[in-house]
């Protein structure tokens, strides 16, 4: 290999891909997992806790050892910058390093460490890029200590969100603002930077947290977008009455109404299988909830997701229709209490990621990547409001996540970083 | 009227029926309702409380004023005996005088006071009967302070049940045995009698506690039996997973399984409408019961009732079939955790009650009685194990019971006692 391969970018991308080191990646994952590591293999590293702050110092030291400039912004997002040959806006990669109260080694952490491994590979290969490459560790993606999640990335793309975030308190009455200030205090040696700086493009590598790739025996996933989600509350109000003395045709049975509606919703979801509609009736409240009393009140929630907003529109119309069509003595009402539109990643980003994944997969004789949508939210969802953004997924064993049992085969983790390296170098040379 | 009309029994029965006094009945109901009476019209007179003991003294005094002999047994059941002209086993009527924590004036109390009103009518008419007539006030029918209900009547027909009942504690740690002993102590002036004495026949008059008679605009109901009941617990065990990341065909959705089973059960009940099958899916437990998590566990209860045991057999077979036919990754199990066979009242008792109701109803221009089954349990259910037994119902306004709003039109209450008087006199002259 010769140095300075910027002239033929694809060659540089392939070269970077070929210099990714699986053993070094595994060591980096193990080293970060030691911060908050548990005997069961899980990791307890909620955002901005002392453990999280110690892990940030570890990341800063690691990045500096790779020659990176380190910067921090007002939301305590950390940026590890490998300069380019120009001052053009950088290419961003990374994810988050915080975990659920008990999470695994990979959710978020993998994306941050993958970015640093790309920098190591570029260093090893002696590759320069036109644009700087920045690896980011977003603050508080999980949202378990301070809600909502993805505070760091959403405040980055829209700093006007930050004041409200700073007022949010954890269960010990500590505000997010106080926790951020403590992180900034401990990073006095780190250069401060503004929020919402221009970014050329962003790629986030993440574990799937679902079973699609494993089922398809695919090592890599091209994430085409993030599903739209709507949450509804359906309230059925009938009349509680004695199970023994009330004839069937005299009843105002709220559970029968709820089951009838729910059954039709499941049938609708089955009919929309080709649209990849996802339907969950997750929370139920039944009153009076007694064996021998006809339920007088049944409330249940609907979580419905699809990358195609029209499918959700159709769903809502169907819900309206069946509620209106159900004739009984009681009443059914529903309301949408949360809604988020879909994120569609740009076609040219997907084409590039496809090419990166195909090369990595074919070299490893693992075949083509799988295209899929993300059912969970990610920092990339907010970055997509700011710059061309996309995601790469690697499989999750058994689809398990937010759990100590979270696991991905080392080869799949390696291939993921290979795909990321190719993609980032291509983007950084545009 | 002349005295001693025993020679022509039907004439005596008609004569007794004609001497029932509605105003006296209403006064008696109001007087008993004063014990535990509430501002909202409800009555709080749980079994063997001081209020209940005071009301028992009131009943003893009332019965003695009518010339009755009063007796009490080891379960504190009170018997008010109007002697017959022979020593043949007596005819029994009555019900219970205890209430739910908050009940109405009529549930139980009406049956006891109706028995005393029959004795008043017989006295007024100067009628003697071959057999003695005994009016009973059973202890603890409601079961709200000490469970199960109907302790008095079930211990009467099978005294071996009493020791276990005596050990049952209320929420203040007082045993049923201690409460019974206190009642016996306060009734030292009352003759003690054995449990399980021979009874010729038994008739219980009660409010319906359901809407059937009101809907049919019938003043009187001939109760053909007490429904069989079975309680099942259905347990659906799938796998909790992320609502966003888990595709529909990878799910093991316990709620979808439960809704599918429940929907088929409601359809089965609709198909069995002609059999008067009553189906209630009353108590639901959902885990983890979160908006964005696929339910991993759903348990629900089935309360199914019918007077025809074969219909319940068919129901159970159907339940078995649909559980076996539901194919998914998870497991469905069900178990029957309570079961009571149906009670069928004897044909000749029903014929007699029909005749008594027809006469009372036609005199009042209210038409024929309605035949119906009881969906609730009653003391008569246990008495049917001991002697020929039957029940008469009067309407409940709006089907409401176990509630301060419990109500029955005075005319219907009057017609009920008329039907009871006719029936009891006929039985007492057999």
Taking residues A96-111, what's their average pLDDT? 95
Percent of chain A with pLDDT over 70: 98
What is the tens place of the pLDDT at every residue in A225-280? Answer: 999 999 999 999 999 988 999 999 999 999 999 999 999 999 999 999 999 999 99
In the prediction, which pLDDT does B2 show? 40
CB A321 within 8 A of CB A332: no
In the prediction, which pLDDT does B290 show? 84
Pairing relation of β-strands B91-96 and A370-374?
Answer: unpaired
Per CB-CB distance under 8 Å, the chain B contacts of A294 are 280, 282
The pLDDT of residue A4 is above 50: no
Phi, psi for A337 (deg, rounded to 5): -110, 0
Per DSSP, the three-state class of A305 is: strand
Helices B410-428, B9-18: axis angle to 10 degrees equals 160
B67 found inside a domain:
yes
What is the tens place of the pLDDT at every residue in A281-316? Answer: 999 999 989 888 899 999 999 999 998 999 999 999
In the prediction, which pLDDT does A5 show? 42
CB B392 within 8 A of CB B420: yes
> With an 8 Å Cβ cutoff, are B209 and A295 in contact?
no
Say what the pTM is.
Answer: 0.81
ipTM of the complex: 0.82
Distance from CA of A306 to the nearest CA of B (A): 9
Which of residues A339, A371, A405 is at a domain's end?
A339
The more confidently predicted of residues B36 and B2 is B36
Q: How far apart are CA B180 and CA B47, in angstroms?
A: 10
Q: How far apart are CA A388 and CA A345, in angstroms?
A: 7
User: Is the same domain home to A176 and A313?
Assistant: no
Taking residues A75-82, what's their average pLDDT? 98
CB B58 within 8 A of CB B35: yes
In the prediction, which pLDDT does A77 show? 98
Q: CA angle, corner A229, sides to A223 and A232, nearest 5?
A: 165
Residues 6+ apart with CB under 8 A from B89: B131, B197, B198, B199, B200
Closest by alpha carbon to B397, among B102, B53, B49, B104?
Answer: B104
User: Is the same domain home to A158 and A193?
Assistant: yes
Helices A9-18, A410-428: axis angle to 10 degrees equals 160
A1 found inside a domain:
no
Neighbours of B101 (CB within 10 A): 12
Is any Cβ of chain A less than 8 angstroms from the Cβ of B208?
yes
Picking from A250, A278, A301, the nearest residue to B244 by CB comes out as A278
Taking residues A364-373, what's their average pLDDT? 93
What is the CATH number for A118?
3.40.630.10
Closest by alpha carbon to B242, among A280, A294, A75, A177?
Answer: A280
Which of residues B307, B340, B373 is at a domain's end?
B340
In the prediction, which pLDDT does B144 show? 86
Phi, psi for A285 (deg, rounded to 5): -130, 125
Is any Cβ of chain B less than 8 angstroms from the Cβ of A278?
yes
CB B35 within 8 A of CB B419: no
User: Is the same domain home to A209 and A331?
Assistant: no
The pLDDT of residue B430 is above 70: yes
> With an 8 Å Cβ cutoff, are B376 and A253 in contact?
no
Q: How far apart are CA B277 and CA B269, in angstroms?
A: 6
**Confidence band (pLDDT; 50, 70, 90) for A144?**
confident
Pairing relation of β-strands A284-287 and A297-306?
Answer: antiparallel
In the prediction, which pLDDT does A275 show? 93
What is the tens place of the pLDDT at every residue in B350-372? Answer: 999 999 999 999 988 998 999 99
Is any Cβ of chain A less than 8 angstroms from the Cβ of B287?
no
Structural domain boundaries enclosing B330 = 228-340
In the prediction, which pLDDT does A21 show? 98
Taking residues B164-171, what's their average pLDDT? 95
User: Is the same domain home to B241 and B358?
Assistant: no
> With an 8 Å Cβ cutoff, are A262 and B259 in contact?
yes
User: Is the same domain home to B275 and B312?
Assistant: yes
Q: CA angle, corner A88, sides to A84 and A94, nearest 5?
A: 65
- The sign one gets for the Cα dihedral B232, B234, B235, B241 is negative
Q: How far apart are CA A93 and CA A107, in angstroms?
A: 15
The pLDDT of residue A109 is above 90: yes
Picking from A208, A270, A284, the nearest residue to B286 by CB comes out as A284
What is the CATH number for A330?
3.30.70.360
Taking residues B280-299, what's their average pLDDT? 93
In the prediction, which pLDDT does B402 show? 86
User: What is the rounded (10 degree) CA torsion for A124, A129, A131, A134?
Assistant: -10
**Confidence band (pLDDT; 50, 70, 90) for A7?**
very low
A372 found inside a domain:
yes
CA distance to A141, A165, A280, A417, per residue, from A137 (Å): 10, 18, 32, 16
Q: How far apart are CA B413 and CA A366, in angstroms?
A: 84
Residues 6+ apart with CB under 8 A from A23: none
Mutate: best of A285, A292, A403, partner B, most B CBs <10 A: A292
User: Is the same domain home to B286 and B353?
Assistant: no
Q: Mean pLDDT for chain B?
A: 95
What is the tens place of the pLDDT at every residue in B174-193? Answer: 999 999 999 999 999 999 99
Least trusted range by pLDDT, from A156-160, A319-323, B140-144: B140-144
**What's A252's DSSP letter?**
B
Per DSSP, the three-state class of A77 is: coil
Which residues 402-421 of chain A have a CB within 8 Å of chain B?
Answer: 402
A48 found inside a domain:
yes
Closest by alpha carbon to A391, among A169, A190, A213?
Answer: A213
User: Is the same domain home to A405 and A268?
Assistant: no
Q: Which residues of A253-267 are buried (b: 16+ CB within 10 A; e: fewer)?
A: bbbbbbbbbbbbbbe
Enter the tokens of residue B164: 């276990």
Q: What element of type H or E holds A237?
A: strand A228-237
B4 found inside a domain:
no
Distance from CA of B378 to the nearest CA of A (A): 12
In the prediction, which pLDDT does A6 show? 44
Residues 6+ apart with CB under 8 A from A30: A105
Is any Cβ of chain A less than 8 angstroms from the Cβ of B253?
yes
The pLDDT of residue B381 is above 80: yes
**Confidence band (pLDDT; 50, 70, 90) for A99?**
very high
Is any Cβ of chain A less than 8 angstroms from the Cβ of B216?
no
User: Is the same domain home to A81 and A208?
Assistant: yes
In the prediction, which pLDDT does B228 show? 94
User: Is the same domain home to A315 and A367?
Assistant: no
Per DSSP, the three-state class of A181 is: helix
Per DSSP, the three-state class of B175 is: strand
Percent of chain B with pLDDT over 90: 90
What is the tens place of the pLDDT at every residue in A185-215? Answer: 999 999 999 999 999 999 999 999 999 999 9
Q: Which residue of B has its CA nearest to A216?
A: B250
**Total number of residues shown for chain A:** 430
CB B335 within 8 A of CB B232: yes
Closest by alpha carbon to A99, among A382, A392, A406, A417?
Answer: A406
Which of residues A314, A339, A364 is at a domain's end?
A339
User: Is the same domain home to B300 and B377?
Assistant: no
A2 found inside a domain:
no
What is the tens place of the pLDDT at every residue in B208-258? Answer: 999 999 999 999 999 999 999 999 999 999 999 889 999 999 899 999 999
Taking residues B266-273, what's their average pLDDT? 98
Enter the tokens of residue B144: 């709200």
Number of domains in chain A: 2
Mutate: best of B261, B262, B292, partner A, most A CBs <10 A: B292
Distance from CA of B265 to the nearest CA of A (A): 10
In the prediction, which pLDDT does B363 show? 85
Least trusted range by pLDDT, from A75-84, A177-186, B7-16, B184-193: B7-16
The pLDDT of residue B5 is above 80: no
The pLDDT of residue B6 is above 60: no
CB B220 within 8 A of CB B416: yes
Pairing relation of β-strands A201-207 and A284-287?
Answer: unpaired
User: Is the same domain home to A317 and A351?
Assistant: no
In the prediction, which pLDDT does A132 show? 98
In the prediction, which pLDDT does A75 show? 98
The pLDDT of residue B8 is above 80: no
The pLDDT of residue B1 is above 70: no
The pLDDT of residue B3 is above 70: no
Closest by alpha carbon to A140, among A174, A197, A104, A179?
Answer: A179
B2 found inside a domain:
no
Taking residues B1-30, what's their average pLDDT? 81
User: Is the same domain home to B286 and B348?
Assistant: no
The more confidently predicted of residues B403 and A162 is A162
Closest by alpha carbon to A241, among A285, A286, A288, A284?
Answer: A288
Picking from A260, A292, A376, the nearest residue to B303 by CB comes out as A292
B114 found inside a domain:
yes
Helices (H), B331-375: 347-363
CA distance to A278, A296, A344, A348, B292, per residue, from A299 (Å): 20, 10, 33, 44, 15
In the prediction, which pLDDT does A8 show? 59
CB A204 within 8 A of CB A152: no
Per CB-CB distance under 8 Å, the chain A contacts of B259 are 259, 262-263, 266, 281
Is any Cβ of chain B less than 8 angstroms from the Cβ of A364?
no
Q: How far apart are CA A374 and CA A376, in angstroms?
A: 5
In the prediction, which pLDDT does B292 show? 87
Q: Mean pLDDT for chain A?
A: 95
Is any Cβ of chain B less than 8 angstroms from the Cβ of A422?
no
């Amino acid at each position: 290999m010769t140095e300075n391969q910027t002239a033929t970018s694809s060659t540089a991308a392939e070269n970077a891909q070929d210099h990714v080191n699986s053993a070094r990646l595994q060591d980096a994952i193990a080293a970060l997992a030691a911060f908050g590591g548990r005997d069961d293999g899980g990791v307890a590293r909620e955002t901005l806790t002392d453990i999280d702050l110690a892990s940030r110092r570890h990341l800063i030291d690691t990045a500096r050892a790779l020659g990176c400039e380190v910067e921090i912004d007002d939301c305590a997002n950390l940026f590890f910058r490998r300069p380019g040959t120009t001052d053009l806006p950088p290419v961003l990669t990374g994810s988050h390093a915080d975990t659920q109260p008990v999470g695994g080694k990979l959710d978020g952490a993998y994306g941050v460490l993958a970015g640093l491994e790309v920098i190591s590979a570029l260093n090893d290969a002696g590759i320069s890029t036109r644009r700087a490459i920045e690896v980011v560790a977003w603050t508080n993606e999980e949202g378990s200590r301070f809600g909502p999640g993805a505070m760091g990335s959403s405040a980055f793309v829209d700093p006007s969100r930050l004041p409200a975030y700073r007022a949010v308190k954890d269960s010990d009455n500590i505000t997010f603002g106080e926790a951020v200030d403590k992180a900034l205090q401990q990073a006095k040696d780190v250069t401060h930077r503004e929020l919402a700086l221009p970014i050329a493009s962003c790629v986030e590598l993440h574990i799937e947290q679902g079973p699609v790739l494993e089922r398809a025996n695919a090592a890599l996933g091209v994430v085409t977008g993030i599903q739209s989600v709507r949450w509804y509350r359906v309230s059925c109000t009938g009349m509680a009455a004695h199970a023994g003395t009330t004839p069937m045709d005299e009843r105002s049975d709220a559970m029968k109404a709820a089951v009838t509606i729910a059954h039709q919703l499941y049938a609708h979801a089955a009919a929309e299988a080709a649209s990849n509609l996802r339907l969950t009736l997750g929370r139920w409240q039944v009153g009076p909830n007694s064996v021998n009393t006809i339920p007088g009140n049944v409330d249940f929630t609907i979580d419905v997701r699809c990358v195609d907003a029209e499918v959700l529109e159709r769903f809502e119309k169907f819900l309206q229709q069946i509620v209106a069509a159900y004739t009984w003595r009681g009443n059914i009402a529903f309301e949408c209490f949360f809604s988020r539109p879909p994120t569609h990643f740009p076609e040219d980003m997907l084409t590039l990621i496809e090419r990166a994944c195909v090369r990595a997969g074919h070299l490893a004789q693992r075949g083509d990547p799988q295209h899929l949508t993300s059912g969970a939210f990610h920092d990339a969802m907010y970055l997509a409001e700011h710059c061309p953004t996309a995601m790469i997924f690697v499989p999750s064993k058994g689809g398990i996540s937010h759990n100590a049992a979270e696991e991905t085969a080392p080869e799949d983790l390696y291939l993921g970083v290979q795909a990321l390296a190719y993609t980032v170098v291509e983007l950084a040379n545009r």
